[in-house]
Amino acid sequence: MFVFQLESQKLNRMNRLDRKPPPPPPNQDTDDNARSHAILETKQFLDKRKIRTLIHPPYSPGLNPIEKVWSWMNREVEQSEGRII
């Protein structure tokens, strides 16, 4: 009896899931703090179309690992005085 109830509950849940269409993907825009993203016309355009904005933090080169590589490469080139390294 208990097993039958569990199976019945599973089937009911599965049937309910099958009837619901999946939600549409949200409209998203990625805001990288560019000046063009902050102007009123852009904000109105996005609001009118119900586009959600994902805001990124300001650029932080100290937190970006590749910047350490570029810094090292710049030092090597400057110290090489034209030599091939």
- Residue 80 CA: distances (Å) to CA of 11, 27, 74, 83, 85: 72, 50, 10, 5, 7
- The pLDDT of residue 27: 80
Rounded to whole angstroms, the Cα distance separating 41 from 45 reads 6
Domain ranges of the chain: 24-85
Contact 56, 34 (CB under 8 A): no
Question: What is the pLDDT tens value at each position of the chain, 85 positions in all?
Answer: 445 565 677 667 766 666 666 666 678 777 777 788 788 998 899 899 888 887 776 666 666 788 888 889 888 888 887 666 5
- 3-state secondary structure at position 28: strand
pLDDT at residue 48 in the model: 92
